[in-house]
Structure formats: C-alpha cells, structure tokens
Structure 1
Amino acid sequence: MPSRPAPTARQQRLGAELRKMREQVGISPQQAAEQLGTNRTGISNVEAGRFGVSADRVRAFARIYACSDQLYIDALAEMAEERGRGWWDDYRATIIKAAIDVAEMEHHARSMRSVQIMHMPGLLQTEDYAKAVFSTAIPKPAPTELRRRISFRMRRREVLDRDNPPTCTFLVHEAAMRMQFGGPEVAARQLRHVIEESEREHITVRAIPFAAGGFAMAGLSAHYATGAVPQLDTVHLDVAHGGALLDAQAHLANYRAILDYAEELSLSADDTRDLMRDIAKQ
C-alpha cells in the first residue's frame, strides 16, 4: 500500500483551526465524533491535517461547535474546497518543507508585510543575488541543489505578477542594502531591481536606516501574511535551521506590533528609493 502523502502546512492549518474551534466550546474529540457520526480517530486525523474534509463538513463542525463567525467559517470552507496542485508541489521531493510552506503561504495571502535585516526580501531578489546568498550556506550546496534553490526562489516571485496580486510592504534594514552579496556589481543590480519593483502600485519598500538605532526583532527577519480573515494570518520566521510558521493569536498580535514599530522607524518610500540609488552608485 502506498504511503499517504505528508499533510501540507495549509491542511495542517485547517485542522488546527477546527481543533481550536472545538476546544473553545469545551467539546471533547469523543463528543465531536458522536455528533458527527464518526470516531475519535477520525476527528484526530482531521485536526492533524492527515485527512481532508469537505466544505459541507467544515460547516457541520461549525454548527456543532456553535461558531457564529460566518466570515471565519466561509474562509475555512474555502480552504477545504482547495483542490489541485500548486507549482510548489513540483519541488516537494527536492526542496525543504519550510520553503514549500512559505510559497504556499504567499500564494494564499491577501497582503504581506516583512522586515528583513541582512538580506533583500526573497520575493524581490534577482537570480544573481539569490545565487550569491545561497552560495554562502554551510555546507555549500552542490551545483544541482543550488540550481533547484534558485529556480524555486524565482518561481516564488511570480505571486507579484499575477492578476490581483497581494499588496506587499517590505521593511528593509540599511544593512541589507549595503551587504554586497555577489560583489558590488551584483549588489548594485539588485538595488536597481528593488527600486523598479517599488514603483509598482502594490509594492512598497521602506528602509530602516542605521540612524534608527535598535529595535525588537533587529536580529531576526519576519514575514507576515494576511489571510482571508484575521484568524488565518500567519507569521514566517526565517531562522538558521530553516524557518517556522506561527499562527497563535498572541504571536500574531506580537509580530503585528513589532512590524508596526519597524514601519514607524522606516524612511518614506521616496526617501528609500533615494537611499538605494545612493548606495548603488557607491
């Protein structure tokens, strides 16, 4: 018997939301199973994302759990109806799961906001810059793996070019703008690319200057994706071992506050473009 595919981050999130809904009304898995005509194992598999559910089943869960937030229920039902493969599925056997999860998160986001300290945002990276960044990894990736990583990074950028793209605000520290990954020419071309992208209506780039001093999260990059409803927002943290997705309401509130403050420290979009032009010339 072929093994069951590992659940995607999206499937796990749907299951986690159904579990939260159940726990908020104090219904046990056994009680939920009895009311839905299934067994406790079935409830556990759904909540772990191992088994899919239909939109009608999601609405049945919501009725049993006395959830009255119709926008939230509709958003979960929409998640349950998602079918078919995404472009990222072609990379599942060759790219780490954390990267796949980010691409899936970006695809479904209504808007995105990130703070980047040492690297230019992944969605705005040129091929040469991405190659230079990936080449600094330890251990150094083999040529085939390096090509896969670059290909995946370039495919991620397509979310910015689709019809009705997410609105994006990229808060980029001046340190990232001055880091010369790939050397001066590659770094200058990267800055010019970001300047061009920042002129697009749905993309805003703002610099956090050295003069702003220290702030929370100064040592870590964060990527905040807004879902169909606030309960479905997600934060991705870029860490040395790959990355982590956070969706607890306390975490979401914390990172919204951090990003709000980082945005307050940032230069305007016009002043940011002027800064990047100056750095590129240098």
Structure 2
Amino acid sequence: MPRKSVPPTVRQRRLGAELRRLRESVDLSATQAGALHGTSQPRVSSIEAGTYAVGADRVRAMARSYSCTNEAYIDALTEMTGGRTRGWWDEYRSLLPPDAIDVAELEHHTSSMRTSTLGHMPGLLQTRAYAHAVISDVVPSFAPHEVEHRVSFRIKRQVAVYGENPKPLTAILHEAALHMGFGGPEVTRTQLKHLLEVSELEHVAILVIPFGAGTFPSAGTGIYYMAGAVPALDTVQLDTDHGLTFLDAQPKLVKYRTILDYIERCTLKPGKSRDLIRRVAADL
C-alpha cells in the first residue's frame, strides 16, 4: 500500500520559497538552475515547493550560485534544512488542521513574537478556562472533544513563553478585550490576574490600547508577527474567519512591522497598562 503523502509544513515551504526568490533574483529558470546544480528541473521545483528535503551543504551551494553573499541569511536558511521538525505538537497532527500545527513549529523556531488582538486575550496568554470559553464560541461550533483538543493545544503552545527557552513577547491588546467577559466574571477575573502576573516577566511586554486612543491601522484584524533568525525570514500570521493565513513576502513583512509599530505607539506603557488591567479587574 503506498504511503500517504504528507504536505510540507510552512517552515519547509518557506525554505523553498526563499531559494526560489534567490534563483529568480539572478534571472535563472528552474531548468537552468538544475543544470547548474547537477540535477533536474523537477527536482529544483520540488525543493522550491518544500516537498523535497534538502541538506545544508546543498542550500549553501545553491545560495552562493545565486550570488547571495549574506552569510547570516545563508546560515539561517541552512538551519531550516532537513525534514519536518519533531516536537510536542506531533501528537496533534491527526487531531488539528495542519496550519495550527505550523504555528507551534514556527513558535519553536522564532526568536521573538509580537501579537495584536482586539476582542480577546492573545492565545499565548490565555488561561485554560478562558481559552475554553473562546474556542467554544467558534462558528461553526466544534464537538466537545474537538474543543478539548484545541484548548489543550493552545495551552501547550505557551511553552514558547514559559518554557526553558522562553521567547520575548510583546502583546498588544485593546481595552475592549479586558471587558469582554468570556466565560463570565470569575473566568475573566482570573484571566486578568494571570495577565498581570505574566506582565511582570522580563521577556514579556503587555501593552493596552485605551478606549480614548481613537483609530489605528488593522483595527479589525489580529496580527501575529514571528521573527526569524534574520528579518528576511520573519513570518506574519493573520487570523481570519476562513482560517489562518501566513505571509512572508518582504513588502508584506515591512507593512506589518510598520503597522505594529504604529499600533504600539497608541498603547499605554507597560506600567500604565497594568494599572488599567487592575482597575478593570477590580470592577468585576
């Protein structure tokens, strides 16, 4: 019986996309690149699609043959070689959509994270009860066992913030999220207490946009920006009603870095953000 084909992860596709960009930057066709590297056009296309695992030496040779001289960038590309990364998220591969698994793998490799949410707390900062309330309200609704899988997965993802190798996190949220009341007053009160505790960690910055801040870009969209080993390998993940969207084209990375910088200027400083969270919690 033939083995079932496993689609490449976002990380594998990203390596291929970067190699394709390098090839196109020197105006080589896949056929010409194949001849240059002693392989075939289909093999080059498979590498660029992320469906064929390629080694570090081959990536270095390809990058240099495409006139790339950015050693930090080449080193970062070689770190992305080989097969899919094995990690705690593998136990969820048969339970959750591939894009959800991709987020956990990206978080494992990222150097820092910036997130902007409006109606609810960032997933990496949610308590289990709060996450259960948020996930239970998704349309179309999930079966009870699906809710539990997704809640468990979301909580395990928080190793990126609380694990042995925690990543710097800047979380921007709107004051509206503090008042939404997911799960009722007790769940919200516990969530806000958790938010205050996390905000004291040196590698976490929680910034609140107060109601009086007025308008700001992407007010209707959640943005999750994960930094790569070099800026060229950053990734943006957007939450949409039809699922998760991943962006990595350089103009879009620049755009969303700029948007997050602008939104951050609309927030209260960390200390004043904590004061506002405390006031909201006290009023519940």
TM-score range, shorter chain: over 0.9
Displacement of 1:32 = 0.6
Task: Specify the SS of the correspondent of 2:81.
Answer: helix
What is the CA–CA distance in structure 1 between the aligned matches of 2:267 and 2:104, rounded to whole Å?
Answer: 26
Give the match for residue 77 of structure 1.
78
What is the CA–CA distance in structure 2 between the aligned matches of 1:16 and 1:86, rounded to whole Å?
Answer: 23
Give the match for residue 153 of structure 2.
152
Structure 2 unaligned segments of length 5 or more: list them.
none
Contact 2:19 2:48 in 1 (8 A): yes
What is the CA–CA distance in structure 2 between the aligned matches of 1:167 and 1:232, rounded to whole Å?
Answer: 17
Contact 2:12 2:84 in 1 (8 A): no
What is the CA–CA distance in structure 1 between the aligned matches of 2:169 and 2:262, rounded to whole Å?
Answer: 17
Amino acid at match of 1:256: R
Contact 2:223 2:238 in 1 (8 A): yes
Quote the sequence identity (%).
51
What is the CA–CA distance in structure 2 between the aligned matches of 1:277 and 1:187, rounded to whole Å?
Answer: 12
User: How many residues get paired?
Assistant: 282
The question of 1:54 aligning with 2:85 is answered no
Displacement of 1:66 = 1.1
Displacement of 1:51 = 0.4
Give the match for residue 223 of structure 2.
222
The question of 1:203 aligning with 2:204 is answered yes
What is the CA–CA distance in structure 2 between the aligned matches of 1:164 and 1:106, rounded to whole Å?
Answer: 11
Displacement of 1:140 = 1.9
What is the CA–CA distance in structure 1 between the aligned matches of 2:162 and 2:220, rounded to whole Å?
Answer: 30
Q: 1:83 to 1:146 in 2, by over 3 A?
A: closer
What is the CA–CA distance in structure 1 between the aligned matches of 2:221 and 2:99, rounded to whole Å?
Answer: 16
Query: Which residues in structure 2 correspond to 1:90-129 (within 5 Å)?
Result: 90-129=91-130
Query: Which residues in structure 2 correspond to 1:261-272 (within 5 Å)?
Result: 261-272=262-273
What is the CA–CA distance in structure 2 between the aligned matches of 1:249 and 1:263, rounded to whole Å?
Answer: 21
CA-to-aligned-CA distance 1:95-142 (integer Å, 9 cap, x gap): 122211211111111011111111101000000000000111122211
Task: Specify the SS of the correspondent of 1:243.
Answer: strand
What is the CA–CA distance in structure 2 between the aligned matches of 1:183 and 1:120, rounded to whole Å?
Answer: 14
Amino acid at match of 2:277: M
Give the match for residue 232 of structure 1.
233
What is the CA–CA distance in structure 1 between the aligned matches of 2:156 and 2:166, rounded to whole Å?
Answer: 14
Displacement of 1:82 = 6.7
Amino acid at match of 1:15: G
Displacement of 1:64 = 1.3
Task: Specify the SS of the correspondent of 1:148.
Answer: helix
What is the CA–CA distance in structure 2 between the aligned matches of 1:19 and 1:106, rounded to whole Å?
Answer: 24
Amino acid at match of 2:100: A
Higher mean displacement: 89-98 or 70-79: 89-98
What is the CA–CA distance in structure 2 between the aligned matches of 1:129 and 1:262, rounded to whole Å?
Answer: 25
Contact 2:13 2:48 in 1 (8 A): yes
Q: 1:240 to 1:83 in 2, by over 3 A?
A: closer
Give the match for residue 280 of structure 1.
281
Displacement of 1:63 = 1.9
Displacement of 1:271 = 0.6
Task: Specify the SS of the correspondent of 1:79.
Answer: coil
Amino acid at match of 1:136: D
Displacement of 1:83 = 6.2
Displacement of 1:81 = 4.8
Amino acid at match of 1:141: F
What is the CA–CA distance in structure 2 between the aligned matches of 1:105 and 1:262, rounded to whole Å?
Answer: 23
Give the match for residue 35 of structure 1.
36
Contact 2:85 2:105 in 1 (8 A): no
Give the match for residue 260 of structure 2.
259
Amino acid at match of 1:57: R
What is the CA–CA distance in structure 1 between the aligned matches of 2:105 and 2:242, rounded to whole Å?
Answer: 19
Displacement of 1:281 = 1.2
What is the CA–CA distance in structure 1 between the aligned matches of 2:54 and 2:174, rounded to whole Å?
Answer: 42
What is the CA–CA distance in structure 1 between the aligned matches of 2:263 and 2:83, rounded to whole Å?
Answer: 35
